[in-house]
Amino acid sequence: MGRKILTTILASAILLTFLFFGMLSVGQAWFYPGILPQRFSLQSWQELLVGQSELQEGLLLSLVLGVGVAILSTLSGFVISKEISRAKYKNRWLLLAYWPFVLSPVVLAILVQRFFLLTGMSGEVIGVLLGQLILAFPFAVIFFQSFWSHEVLQLEEQSQTLGAPAAYTLQNVLLPLAKPLLLICFFQTFLISWFEYGLTQFIGLGKVKTLTILVFKYVNEANIFHAALASLLIMLPPALLLWLNKKFIFRGI
């Protein structure tokens, strides 16, 4: 009985987080000591869906960056992880791939910022995309190590021994085998970009306003209603992915 009650409390607390942000996103005034906002309005949501608002642009920018980072890192990670898996000193190469994860993203941003300033990519979307790749690409390389097993490499060799060209082997042998992992890697690298703040803030110089940057901006401006809406926009797509398949969120390094 006690366990059931505690389980219900835990599940409710988790759900309440989403409801709390939902409530704030339609609130307009929330004076102390009222538990609910005194006025409700759908204005912020309407601006997001119909009009041209900063949030709408932020949402689109985050989506473009997320998809771009996911495509580039998944494809390059898939190809390069094969080379690393066959390397003589495989573990040493893999250790190098772990480097960016050891550092705090914001410390990493401080250290690489000069390069982006020199190349004129600071404050540009392309700069932020490349910056986020510093995290997403090694993740993909490490992620695909589990795919390039001895069996898969042998299967590839067998296909080529039987006369199949490399492109045919890739299309008809390797890609069908790797499809589930490619999908998971795509979503996880998308989430790396979607949740990223430190690198985006430093390399983007505050000009590349993704959703996480906007949350911080609204919190600083004490605009909790917009901050709540931006937070919901960040949380909803991963929650949707979770509903489709838990693996998209949890399976990792």
Partner 1 sequence: MTISEQRLSNRTKAGAGVYLRAVFLLLAVLPVAGGLLYGLAYSFGVTGALATGFTLQHWQEVLSSGALLHALAYSLYIAITAITTATAAALVLTLYFQKSLRSGSLSYFLYLPLTIPAMVMGFLVFQLLTKSGLVSRVVYGLGWISELQDFPSLVHDSLGFGIILAHVLMAVPFLTLLFLAIYREQNLEQLQEVSTNLGGSKSYFIRHIAIPTILKTAAPNLLLYFIFILGSYEIPLLIGSQQHRMVSVLAVQKFQRFNLLDIPQGYAISVAFTLFVLLLLSISFKKLQRHG
Find the shortest distance in angstroms from Cβ 1 to partner 1: 13
Pick the closest to residue 239 from 22, 27, 42 (CA basis): 22
Q: Which is nearer to partner 1, 177 or 238 (CB)?
A: 238
Q: Which is nearer to partner 1, 182 or 213 (CB)?
A: 213
80 within 8 A of 72, measured Cβ to Cβ: no
Tokens of 91: 């573990």
In degrees and rounded to multiples of 5, residue 119 shows phi and psi of -90, 5
Find the shortest distance in angstroms from Cβ 159 to partner 1: 13
CA–CA separation, 97 and 93 (whole Å): 7
Find the shortest distance in angstroms from Cβ 50 to partner 1: 25
101 within 8 A of 138, measured Cβ to Cβ: yes
Tokens of 63: 């989506």
Find the shortest distance in angstroms from Cβ 139 to partner 1: 10
- Contact footprint for partner 1 (CB under 8 A): 3, 6-8, 10-11, 14-15, 17-18, 20-21, 24, 32-35, 76, 79-80, 83-84, 86-87, 93, 96-97, 99-108, 110-112, 114-115, 133-134, 137-138, 141, 163, 194-195, 197-198, 212, 215-216, 219, 224, 227-228, 231, 234-235, 238-239, 242, 246, 249-250
190 within 8 A of 136, measured Cβ to Cβ: no
